[in-house]
Amino acid sequence: MKTLIAAAALAVSTLAAPAFAELRVGAKAPDFTAPAFLAGRPFTYKLADALKNGPVVVYFFPAAHTSGCNLEAHLFSDAVDQFKAARATVIGVTAGKVDELAAFSAETEHCGGKFPVAADPGAKIARQYDSTLAARPDWSSRTSYVITQNGEIAHVYSNLNPNDHVTQTLNAVKVLKK
């Protein structure tokens, strides 16, 4: 019986786990263009254009309107002024529930219109960043990247728990500013 329980626990943890094969610090960040929303309004997001203004935090999240992703978006929304003070911008990217991103970007309890979220149907961008869920490779994992203005990965943080992504990336951005 204990063996069966241990096998079931291993199977569940494997299914929920991200791939954890994210890009390494110092690697060139893949450029991307994606349909995005800011405060419910659609536009085309271009990483290359955002990098012209300073570092960019690209955070991948599994799906809009799920508990962990709701919390993570809210935490980034609360900290967006701190990122701006460090001359960095934030973009959330997801392959899950992309049809809900317009509302998600506007809702005060999530993004609140303070930063954009981009749709990644089929997880094409997430695959370029090695940020897909093992159990659902068509969905993004929860991985955050800090990309320098010259397009290099400066910091990577992968953890399904959304609580530390803002702290991790904000600290990395502040180090870049020095």
Q: What is the mean pLDDT of the chain?
A: 89
pLDDT < 50: residue spans in the chain:
1-20
Q: How far is CA 125 from CA 31, 33, 132, 151, in A?
A: 9, 9, 9, 15
CATH code, 56? 3.40.30.10
d(CA 147, CA 144) in angstroms, rounded, equals 10
pLDDT score of 2: 43
- Number of domains, the chain: 1
Distance of CA 52 to the CA centre of its chain: 20
> Beta strands of 7-104 (E only): which ranges?
33-38, 41-46, 56-60, 89-94
pLDDT score of 22: 77
Residue 27's CB is within 10 A of a number of other CB atoms, namely 16
Task: Write out the residue range of the structural domain in which residue 171 sits.
Answer: 2-177
Whole-model pTM? 0.87
Closest alpha carbon to 37 in 2, 73, 11? 73
pLDDT score of 21: 55
Please enumerate in sequence order all residues whose Cβ is within 8 A of that of 81, keeping only pairs 6 or more positions apart, or say none: none
pLDDT score of 121: 95
pLDDT score of 10: 37
